[in-house]
């Protein structure tokens, strides 16, 4: 039997769909995912083979290959899954557009520089780029079916998520380009609203992670909810919805079976949900073990911050004390990243004097050598950035000595300093520690 071939364009949510379908249903489906941060890279870049060969060897994420060549074999696919999301800022080299998670010295030396595009190109006008992409896909493969995918939540009413995404989704829903029986929209917002009405989940249960939102110059902005990374149950339900759309397009699709968890603590009120949840989890030893799961930990932190429950706050500080004693290697940088992000939001909110422990962990990262950091550089940068956001916001004379020690250690790590964001952090830290309180 011929396999259903799916081309996926976008970020993590497309990757989750790809992994699930290729892992469990590879006999029926072949799903190719190309990681992209801005669709202009694949539709508006022009280059010779010599130029593309030169930049394709650069170490970066997303890869240059994904960004430039993801549409090469369009005619061989039955489905194109396109994530709808606000784009990342572009970098340009001659007529090649690209985006990078981290803009390193290597990319700068290769000739890439920030694009001078106006903000409207990344916000109000980006719908035109998505429409251009869809038109290009359909032109090259008139029979292909398109699924526009939004895997995040964004609510103006509840002040959740990105308003850029919220506005973009509204323009997608009203665009005439997408009014076709060959195009459907899969929207996470609709899924969460449905789950909430059935008392099976809610926004913070489905998306438990929280983080520190900051300005472009790395100043604290707000404590926010991570609206990109859902729980396994939510992701599986999203996968089921994706497969149902495949069936709507008359393709053979897997039947996804789901066990719906029972939420004894559910209430329409966030505060009551939080109190119900915390009151059912009161054994410290069991809690400290359960909280090794980053999603459970983040949800626990959310509810502790919401209720200001003293026992829960104590448990979180105890967890941090245990975490501060670990060795830092590639595995730990990845395993505990979401814990650290949640702890940083917790400390800014509750001010429990655990900043010195966070700085201790940051120092351990600065002691790692390039070969220990190369495969986990992005996680190392994110750890340091989150800890920086805490000490820059809560700075006082009592922690100045620990910050200076970290500053000096960071200044000695040439690999970390090859990233612009780390250079900014070091520069800002030096300014901070030179000030008198």
Q: Are residues 300 and 412 in the same domain?
A: yes
Domain-embedded: residue 77: yes
**pLDDT tens sequence across 115-151:** 999 999 999 999 999 999 999 999 999 999 999 999 9
CB atoms near residue 114 (< 10 Å): 10
Q: Are residues 292 and 233 in the same domain?
A: no
Judge contact between 127 and 87, C-beta under 8 A.
Answer: no
Q: Are residues 313 and 242 in the same domain?
A: no
Cα–Cα distance between 103 and 105 in angstroms, integer? 7
What pLDDT score does 157 carry? 81
Cα–Cα distance between 303 and 165 in angstroms, integer? 26
Q: Are residues 239 and 186 in the same domain?
A: yes
Judge contact between 347 and 30, C-beta under 8 A.
Answer: no
**pLDDT tens sequence across 90-116:** 999 999 999 999 898 899 999 999 999
Supply φ then ψ for residue 184, to 5 degrees.
Answer: -135, 155
Q: Are residues 74 and 149 in the same domain?
A: yes
Nearest to 421 by CA among 381, 388, 376: 381
Q: Are residues 176 and 81 in the same domain?
A: yes
Q: Are residues 141 and 205 in the same domain?
A: yes
Residues 62, 96, 7: CA angle, nearest 5 degrees: 45
What is the secondary structure of 109-156 as a DSSP string? HTT-EE----GGGGTTTHHHHHHHHHHHHHHH-TT-EEEEEE-S--BT
What pLDDT score does 50 carry? 85
Domain-embedded: residue 256: no
What pLDDT score does 288 carry? 86
Q: Are residues 202 and 326 in the same domain?
A: no
Q: Are residues 43 and 158 in the same domain?
A: yes
Residue 71's CATH number? 3.40.50.1110
Cα–Cα distance between 136 and 142 in angstroms, integer? 10
**pLDDT tens sequence across 194-248:** 999 999 999 999 999 999 999 989 999 999 999 999 999 999 999 999 999 999 9
Instruction: Reply yes or no on whether the pLDDT at 436 is more than 70.
Output: no
What tokens does 30 get?
Answer: 């072949």
Domain-embedded: residue 215: no
Judge contact between 330 and 380, C-beta under 8 A.
Answer: no
Structural domain including 182 reads 4-209+227-248
Mean predicted lDDT score pLDDT of the chain: 95
Query: How many percent of the chain have pLDDT more than 90?
Result: 90
Domain-embedded: residue 262: no
State the pTM of this model.
0.87
Cα–Cα distance between 337 and 105 in angstroms, integer? 25
R_g of the chain computed on alpha carbons: 23
**pLDDT tens sequence across 268-327:** 999 999 999 999 988 888 888 899 999 999 999 999 999 999 999 999 999 999 999 999
Domain-embedded: residue 257: no
Domain-embedded: residue 137: yes
409 vs 262, higher pLDDT: 409
Domain-embedded: residue 92: yes
Instruction: Reply yes or no on whether the pLDDT at 1 is more than 80.
Output: no
Q: Are residues 296 and 341 in the same domain?
A: yes
Domain-embedded: residue 264: no
Cα–Cα distance between 300 and 342 in angstroms, integer? 10
Q: Are residues 199 and 322 in the same domain?
A: no
What pLDDT score does 13 carry? 96
Q: Are residues 194 and 52 in the same domain?
A: yes
Please give the tally of structural domains in the chain: 2
CB atoms near residue 139 (< 10 Å): 9
According to DSSP, the β-strands at 145-150 and 29-35 are unpaired
């Amino acid at each position: 039997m011929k396999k259903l071939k799916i081309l996926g364009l976008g970020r993590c949510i497309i990757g989750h769909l790809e992994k699930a379908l290729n892992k469990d249903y590879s006999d029926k489906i072949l799903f190719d995912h190309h990681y992209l941060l801005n669709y202009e890279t694949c539709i508006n870049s022009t280059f010779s083979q010599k130029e593309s060969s030169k930049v394709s060897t650069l170490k970066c994420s997303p890869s240059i290959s994904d960004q430039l060549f993801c549409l090469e074999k369009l005619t061989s696919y039955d489905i194109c899954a396109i994530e709808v999301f606000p784009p990342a800022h572009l970098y340009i080299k001659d007529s090649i557009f690209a985006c990078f998670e981290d803009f390193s010295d290597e990319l700068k030396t290769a000739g890439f520089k920030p694009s001078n595009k106006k903000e409207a190109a990344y916000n109000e006008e980006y719908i035109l780029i998505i429409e251009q992409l869809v038109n290009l896909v359909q032109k090259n493969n008139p029979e292909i079916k398109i699924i526009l995918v939004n895997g995040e939540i964004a609510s103006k009413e509840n002040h959740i998520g990105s308003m850029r995404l919220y506005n973009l989704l509204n323009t997608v829903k009203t665009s005439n380009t997408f009014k076709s029986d060959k195009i459907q929209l899969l929207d996470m917002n609709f899924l969460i609203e449905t789950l909430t009405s059935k008392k099976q989940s809610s926004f913070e249960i489905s998306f438990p992670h929280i983080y520190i939102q900051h300005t472009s110059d790395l100043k604290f902005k707000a404590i926010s909810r991570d609206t990109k990374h859902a729980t396994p149950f939510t992701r599986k339900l999203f996968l089921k919805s994706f497969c149902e759309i495949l069936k709507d397009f008359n393709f053979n699709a897997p039947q996804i079976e789901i066990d719906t968890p029972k939420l004894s603590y559910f209430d329409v009120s966030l505060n009551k949900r939080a109190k119900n949840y915390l009151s059912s989890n009161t054994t410290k030893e069991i809690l400290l073990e359960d909280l090794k799961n980053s999603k459970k930990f983040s949800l626990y932190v959310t509810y502790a911050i919401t209720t200001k429950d003293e026992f829960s706050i104590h448990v979180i500080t105890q967890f941090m004390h245990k975490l501060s004693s670990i060795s830092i290697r590639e595995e730990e940088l990845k395993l505990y990243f979401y814990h650290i992000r949640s702890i940083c939001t917790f400390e800014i909110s509750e001010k429990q004097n655990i900043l010195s422990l966070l700085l201790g962990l940051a120092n351990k990262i600065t002691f790692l050598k390039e070969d220990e950091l190369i495969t986990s550089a992005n996680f190392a940068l994110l750890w340091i950035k989150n800890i920086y956001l805490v000490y820059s916001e809560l700075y006082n004379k009592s922690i100045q000595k620990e910050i200076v020690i970290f500053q000096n250690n960071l200044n000695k790590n040439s690999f970390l300093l090859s990233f612009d964001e780390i250079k900014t952090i070091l520069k800002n830290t030096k300014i901070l520690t030179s000030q008198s309180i």
